[in-house]
Amino acid sequence: MAGGTHHAHAAHGEGFCVFNDTAVAARVLQAEGLLQRVAVIDLDVHQGNGTASICADDEAIFTFSMHGARNFPVRKASSDLDIELPDASGDAPYLQQLAVALERVFTLARPELVIYLAGADPYHDDRLGRLALSFAGLAARDEMVLAACRQRAVPVAISMAGGYARDIDDTVSIHCRTVLTARQIFNPLLG
């Protein structure tokens, strides 16, 4: 449930990230012959530059990052699909961009697995974020991603990624809501 250390590169760590758990997991699953095509849906407020650079030459790993244009890292890597948003984007523009992007991700990647980095840092009161999403906007984001996976019968692994709210309880609440949303979508009988 933790992880989402998407800034780590093959040869060095960066931005609080030592090892890139997303890239390692995808490559191990490929090496063991368990699957070939993976889509990384990275919705941390910061671009997944390490994941993009590690997976750049692997056509079977599709990297998608939607992040703040003016946020860390200063030098962005090229994901298969990058959407850069202006500061203070807010819920409606964010969710509109995400809906369009998810269609592209599933069409282009045809994934057998989605690795979803559900960062809490797009939140409006996050110290390192800038996108100004509300609790409701973040919940709608999670529901949109997870429902898209469910509708296409694609399994999903969730990493929490970043979260630096001024009030730690807000970060915890956002991450908990992600888990509860996944539970509701993938096993509605559990409530």
Residues tagged active-site: 7
State yes or no: cis peptide before 73, omega within 30 of 0: yes
- The Cα–Cα gap between 165 and 14 comes to 21
Q: What is the dihedral of CA 108, 156, 48, 5, to 10 degrees?
A: -160
- The Cα–Cα gap between 64 and 71 comes to 17
Pairing of strands 61-68, 156-159: unpaired
Dihedral over Cα of 151, 26, 52, 85: its sign: positive
Q: Which residues pair with 131 in a beta bridge?
A: none
